[in-house]
Homo-oligomer: A and B are copies of this chain.
Amino acid sequence: MDVRLIGMMPEPEKLPALAAKLTHSKTAPKDLEDSSPEELRAILTHVLNLGHTSVIEHTCFTFVISDVSRSLTHQLVRHRIASYAQQSQRYVNLHEPCYVVPPTINRNESLKKAYEKTMQTIWNEYNKLIEMEIPAEDARYVLPNATCTNIIVTMNARSLLNFFELRCCLHAQWEIRMLANKMLNLVKKKASILFKDAGPSCKTKGYCPEQKKDCKWYPK
């Protein structure tokens, strides 16, 4: 899994802070941008403490994600307040085996061997179908969930907070949780106010919406 932050505003917390200021002030919009950085940080911190997250929609982050499985992306694209561009299995030929190995399989040598053998069988079949002039869009029906894919995702900061709340949870599926944690680490470095309280609600609100009392993170 490789995750890169390839797009964000040069000052990613500025527009949310200006938006917060505008809603409660008479400042003429043409003077809005003259606000001092300190004032803007204070305003943004204040509105986020009140749970007013609508202003943070005004800043977006774009990630390119590679070497993740189609299982992961099928879950990822269920987040609808986001934009996606994914490598097409209809138009791109995937001759070389490239797949994700779940850790539970990876740590058992014999399971891993068998898994790899199955993958080899699958790709042999895929390549044979391509050779027989079956279109890639049909040959791909044999390819596994594990198949590596590349995807570009753009989300605004509010949608990211929701994503981190759901997917950094210990009960999220391991691969998308790994992705969510990597994304969170990347944006936290760039926008510490926006994401200071990002994460699962057990950590951020002391509250488990799923009532998973046997979870090691369950709030005491």
Contact = CB atoms under 8 A, between A and B. Distances in A.
A29 B102 contact: no
7 contacts: A2-B29, A4-B29, A23-B87, A58-B83, A111-B129, A115-B141, A121-B121
A26 interface: yes
A22 B150 contact: yes
Interface stretch (A13-21, A178-186, A188-196): A13-21
A55 interface: yes
Interface residues of A, number: 96
Most buried by B among A57, A71, A86, A108: A71
Contacts of A64: 18, 22, 29, 32
B6 A18 contact: yes
Interface in A29-71: 29-30, 32-33, 49-51, 54-55, 57-60, 62, 64-66, 69-71
